[in-house]
Amino acid sequence: MFISRLNKLRRSILIGTMVFGVCGFAHAAYPDKSIKLIVPYPPGGATDVIGRILAKNLGDALGQQVVVDNRGGAGGNIGAEAVAKSAPDGYTLLMGAVTSHSTMATLEKGKLRYDLLKDFSPVMIVGSVPLVVVVNPNVPVRTLKGLVDYAKANPDKLNYASSGAGAPQRMGAEIFQKEAGIKITHVPYKGSGPAMTDLMAGQVNLMVERVPAALPFINAGQLRPLAVTTAKRISMLPDVPTSAESGMSALEVSSTFGVLAPAGTPVAIVDQLNAAIAKLLVNPEVKEAFLKQGVFAATPTSPKKSAELLSTEVKRWEKVITEAGIKTD
């Protein structure tokens, strides 16, 4: 009798230990290994720079390494697809160029093998890079209004460069034309680098470009800034008026960036990542690191609000693309 009860007790202890072990494993603290942050563009661009600043600081905050993995190609779609199809466990994240992904959602509709709004759980919108309207100094204008007047007086004479059909730079130029009631010939390039080279050489007349890319050439007198596409003037170009000051309030365009997880990632993990990134975005050292690269840290928001902002971006650019009849050149 005593031995039988002892054996039952031993079995109970053994089962309890196994259950505790399984439960303990199932509820292991996140993260318990390194996290992969996929940047869907080659090294060196704005998305990569932002991703590396975040990766280092987020890794320190979470106590696990966050490794940047560059998966460039197809306008950011290869890297985005890789994350969309990854296990929803919080260990593979996308450093998304939200504006570019949003335009591609319309331009490549029916071709993409992922759905931007259905296959991701937005964690946080982290920052934005302002744009500036610049012209070659040979173009005889010094204001945005002057550019509009010149274009109307010289139909079919002006052209503009962009880094690609679905780039924020192209979208900004399309909004400008629509608001001004003018038509300027589009000359697409494979990236900002060659576009800027031809702009400075006078092969093209103007461009709506990210401020960090244009700033060195503005300072060197190789490009003339007409307006920044932000609600307020920016510290990097304090003497350059905003598009709203120039009578074109609709031309408020920034290149927005955010961190996204695969759809189905546990809410607790998304919330944990959101909370960690929120602290980084108000950290003076992180904000300064962003600003040195021309990036303005976003105001921290909830995952729900970040999802709403993503949806708003998609709808906004769908309207612009449809009305302008933009195609992937």
Domain range for 181: 130-228
**Do 159 and 79 have their domain in common?**
no
CATH number at residue 214: 3.40.190.10
Q: Which residue among 211, 228, 245 closes a domain?
A: 228
The Cα 310–Cα 304 span in angstroms is 10
**Do 263 and 122 have their domain in common?**
yes
Please determine, for residue 20, whether its predicted confidence score (pLDDT) is greater than 70: no
**Do 122 and 47 have their domain in common?**
yes
The Cα 11–Cα 113 span in angstroms is 51
Q: Answer yes or no: is 13 within a domain.
A: no
Alpha-carbon dihedral sign for residues 101, 104, 108, 109? positive
The Cα 97–Cα 189 span in angstroms is 19
Q: Answer yes or no: is 4 within a domain.
A: no
**Do 172 and 123 have their domain in common?**
no
The Cα 168–Cα 254 span in angstroms is 7
Q: Let me know how long the chain is.
A: 329
For range 111-116, the mean pLDDT? 95
The Cα 18–Cα 5 span in angstroms is 20
**Do 174 and 88 have their domain in common?**
no
Question: Could you give phi then psi for residue 288, rounded to 5 degrees?
Answer: -70, -40
CATH number at residue 264: 3.40.190.150
Contact (Cβ atoms closer than 8 angstroms) between residue 114 and residue 80: yes
**Do 124 and 137 have their domain in common?**
no
Contact (Cβ atoms closer than 8 angstroms) between residue 121 and residue 264: yes
Question: Biggest alpha carbon distance in the chain?
Answer: 107
**Do 154 and 112 have their domain in common?**
no
Q: Answer yes or no: is 189 within a domain.
A: yes
Contact (Cβ atoms closer than 8 angstroms) between residue 232 and residue 187: no
What is the total count of domains within the chain? 2
The Cα 160–Cα 170 span in angstroms is 9
Q: pLDDT category, 62, cuts 50, 70, 90?
A: very high
The pLDDT, as a whole number, for residue 19 is: 40
pLDDT, tens digit, for every residue of 30-47? 999 999 999 998 888 889
